[in-house]
Amino acid sequence: MNDSVRYAERLWPAWWIWLSVVIIGSSFSTIFFPIGVTYGVIALIVGAVLAVVALMAITPRVEVTDQWLRAGRAQIEREHLGHVVAHRGAAAREQLGPGFDARSYQCVRGWISPVLTAEITDPRDATPYWLISTRHPERLLAALGSQEQVRVSGVSMSEN
């Protein structure tokens, strides 16, 4: 059975997080500079590289295939998805704030404003919906086969 990828996105951190990680990783070198400049420079490079690699390793991926929706460490068969809606602006803030249900599965990154909610219809699953950050809500909706438009402030709007 062919399970081709319809959509894939990495939820890469914002630039300031990369900068912070490099600075924190590099600060490891302050231990070694008193021993010797060479050791300090080596520790600076190794610390920065290790920090960047760690950040890359924990960056989640959102993927839609013919049969699956994957977000971070979780996956669900698409047959168990109900209503799928993408949100921007005030509608996204509503989903992340007052409209938030703590029972939902979240793959959310604070530096990515748009979110997608996917209702879970599997009666054996207590999770009411998934809440997923995405930089491309229209493409993610299309990959899931949803006819919904992106909600900006509680109303559906198509992007021009």
User: End-to-end CA distance of the chain, in Å?
Assistant: 37
Mean pLDDT of the chain: 89
Average pLDDT value for residue range 19-37:
91
Residue type, 7: Y
Residue 33 pLDDT > 60, yes or no? Answer: yes
- Per-residue pLDDT at 145: 85
CA angle 141, 144, 150 (to 5 degrees): 15
Split at pLDDT 50, 70, 90, the class of 3 is: confident
Residue 130 pLDDT > 50, yes or no? Answer: yes
> Rounded distance, CA 82 to CA 105, Å?
15
Q: Say if strands 115-120 and 150-151 run parallel, antiparallel, or are unpaired.
A: unpaired
State the CB neighbour count (10 A cutoff) for residue 150: 21
Residue 1 pLDDT > 60, yes or no? Answer: no
> Rounded distance, CA 26 to CA 49, Å?
9
- Per-residue pLDDT at 157: 46
Average pLDDT value for residue range 45-50:
93
Question: What is the dihedral angle through the alpha carbons of 7, 10, 11, 14, rounded to the nearest 10 degrees?
Answer: -130
Residue 25 pLDDT > 50, yes or no? Answer: yes
Is the CB of residue 150 less than 8 Å from the CB of residue 141?
Answer: yes
State the CB neighbour count (10 A cutoff) for residue 91: 23
Residue 149 pLDDT > 70, yes or no? Answer: no
Average pLDDT value for residue range 111-119:
94
